[in-house]
């Protein structure tokens, strides 16, 4: 199939999908036309194999989604921060989920001593996570095991980064939500693993340095 044919097929598939759903699943169109009230904000990797709605078994309107390379929440990434802000302040999501995945190319690239050009600053923020956990990671001799562990650690660290945001702290103290969770998706068997991010414990731990709920006089 040529590139043009692959491209054209998308519109053909879309047309068939509409026809099929009109018969099998007519309520889908009501869902799409309705206002969104998702309970979940999902922040995952851009990897084409990890599809949030399918993985979570959720319908359109049930999960607000942000994706980037290696599911990062960087403090100067206006895109990720805007999504979180909107999710917390306006959609009032109950959970913010960071979802990493084994076999993550971004994590793998960050573990290599190579010049990735424009990707370097992005990878640096992942390497910074490695540095924070260098001792534990270096102690794992098997490189595949170390890679898998780094995926988990990075996911956990991004959960911590979400907790550092004022709107998340303020909303949680006031409303009891959102809570933050960390998951890893295994692309080998399509299973989701809950890292059991210690939300309350981590929030208490980082409070001394990152509590920013006070008012500047
Ligand atoms: Zn990835």
Q: What is the pLDDT of residues 72-88, one digit of tens each?
A: 999 999 999 999 999 99
Q: How far apart are CA 57 and CA 146, in angstroms?
A: 30
Q: How far apart are CA 73 and CA 80, in angstroms?
A: 6
196 is in an annotated binding site: no
Helix, strand, or coil here: 77?
Answer: coil
Residues that are catalytic: 45, 47, 49, 101, 104
pLDDT at 213 over 90: no
Rounded to the nearest angstrom, the distance between the alpha carbon of 171 and the centre of ligand 1 is: 29
Whether 154 contacts 70, CB under 8 Å: yes
Rounded to the nearest angstrom, the distance between the alpha carbon of 214 and the centre of ligand 1 is: 36
Q: How far apart are CA 96 and CA 182, in angstroms?
A: 9
Q: What percent of the chain has pLDDT over 90?
A: 88
Q: How far apart are CA 186 and CA 102, in angstroms?
A: 5
99 is in an annotated binding site: no
Q: Which residues are CB-contacts of 66 (< 8 A; sequence separation ≥ 6)?
A: 41, 42, 43, 44, 79, 80, 83, 84
Rounded to the nearest angstrom, the distance between the alpha carbon of 108 and the centre of ligand 1 is: 9
Q: Assign a CATH topology to domain 36-210.
A: Beta-carbonic Anhydrase; Chain A (3.40.1050)
Residue ranges of domains in the chain: 1-34, 36-210
pLDDT at 201 over 90: yes
Instruction: Of 79, 168, 94, 161, give the one whose Cα is nearest residue 128.
Output: 161
Write phi, then psi, for 93 (nearest 5 degrees). -65, 145
Q: Count Cβ atoms within 10 A of the Cβ of residue 34 and give its class: 0-12 exposed, 13-18 middle, 19 or more buried.
A: exposed
Rounded to the nearest angstrom, the distance between the alpha carbon of 46 and the centre of ligand 1 is: 6
Q: DSSP alpha helices (H): ranges in the chain?
A: 3-24, 27-33, 52-56, 78-89, 105-110, 120-132, 134-138, 143-163, 166-175, 199-210
Stated as kind and residue range, the H or E segment containing 45 is: strand 40-45
123's tokens: 């990878």
Instruction: Of 64, 140, 59, 69, give the one whose Cα is nearest residue 96.
Output: 64
101 is in an annotated binding site: yes
| pLDDT for the residue numbered 91 | 97
159 is in an annotated binding site: no
| pLDDT for the residue numbered 207 | 85
- pLDDT single digits (tens) 35-75: 899 999 999 999 999 999 999 999 889 999 999 999 999 99
């Amino acid at each position: 199939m040529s590139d043009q044919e692959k491209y054209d097929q998308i519109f053909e598939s879309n047309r068939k999908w509409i026809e099929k759903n009109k018969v099998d699943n007519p309520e889908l169109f009501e869902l799409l036309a309705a206002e969104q009230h998702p309970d979940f904000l999902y922040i995952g990797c851009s990897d084409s194999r990890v599809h949030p709605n399918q993985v979570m078994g959720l319908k359109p309107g049930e999960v607000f989604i942000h994706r980037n390379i290696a599911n990062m929440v960087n403090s100067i990434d206006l895109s990720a921060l805007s999504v979180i802000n909107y999710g917390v302040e306006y959609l009032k999501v109950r959970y913010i989920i960071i979802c990493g995945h084994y076999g993550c190319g971004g994590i793998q690239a960050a573990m290599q001593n190579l010049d990735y050009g424009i990707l370097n600053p992005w990878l640096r923020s992942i390497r910074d996570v490695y540095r924070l956990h260098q001792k534990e990671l270096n102690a794992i001799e098997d490189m595949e095991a170390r890679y898998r562990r780094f995926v988990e650690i990075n996911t956990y660290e991004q959960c911590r980064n979400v907790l550092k945001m004022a709107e998340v702290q303020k909303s949680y103290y006031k409303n009891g939500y959102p809570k933050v969770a960390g998951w890893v998706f295994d692309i080998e068997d399509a299973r989701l693993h809950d890292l059991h991010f210690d939300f309350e414990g981590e929030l208490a731990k980082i409070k001394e340095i990152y509590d920013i709920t006070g008012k500047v006089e």
